[in-house]
Amino acid sequence: MKQLGLMLRLTVVISCDVVWPPTITAPVEDVAPDALVNASIVILTQEGYTILTAEASSGLITTDWREESSFVSQNLLGVSRRKRVSIIYDLLTGHVSVQMTKQKKEEGHAWRTDGLSGDDRNEMARILTRVQERAQLIQSLDFEPV
């Protein structure tokens, strides 16, 4: 019985340590997947991210990790930070989601998920709004995808 209790506690502790990346979602009406992928690539690049994958068939756009560390935090405090963004277009519902993952690494330790600040959440909302607007513009002008 003690072992069962110990396993249960260990499971709770481990599962409480997992931080799921925050996601915000909004509808995108009458936009082709190609227009959304094109818009996402443009906006994420303008925001300073490097595109890692962009697949219109699956509706997934991901960025590479972007360093967020300041000179002081990295060199004096030994703390590095990075973040990446994923944009997911659900073809069935017509909704687009922006997901951000932020990680922190302290000297001598591995990367671990870190919570988002208010500025990070504002950046997510800004990216979502800009992608919606750009996708609508591309769709209305009927541009060819990148």
Cα dist from 71 to 66, 75, 78, 126, whole Å: 15, 6, 10, 26
96 CB neighbour count, 10 Å cutoff: 24
CA–CA gap between residue 145 and residue 139 (Å, rounded)? 10
pLDDT of 110-121, one tens digit each? 999 999 999 999
Distant-in-sequence, close-in-space partners of 139: CB < 8 Å, separation ≥ 6: 30, 31, 32, 35
Task: Give the residue-averaged pLDDT of 125-135.
Answer: 95
Decide which of 91 and 121 is more confident: 121
Whose CA is closest to 49, among 36, 35, 61, 32?
A: 61
CA–CA gap between residue 105 and residue 78 (Å, rounded)? 8
Q: Quick one: angle between helices 118-141 and 33-46, nearest 10?
A: 130
Give residue 73's pLDDT.
Answer: 66
Give residue 10's pLDDT.
Answer: 47
pLDDT of 19-76, one tens digit each? 556 899 999 888 888 889 999 999 999 999 999 999 988 899 999 999 987 766 666 6
Look up the CATH superfamily of 20-141.
Alpha-D-phosphohexomutase, C-terminal domain (3.30.310.50)
pLDDT at residue 87 above 90?
yes
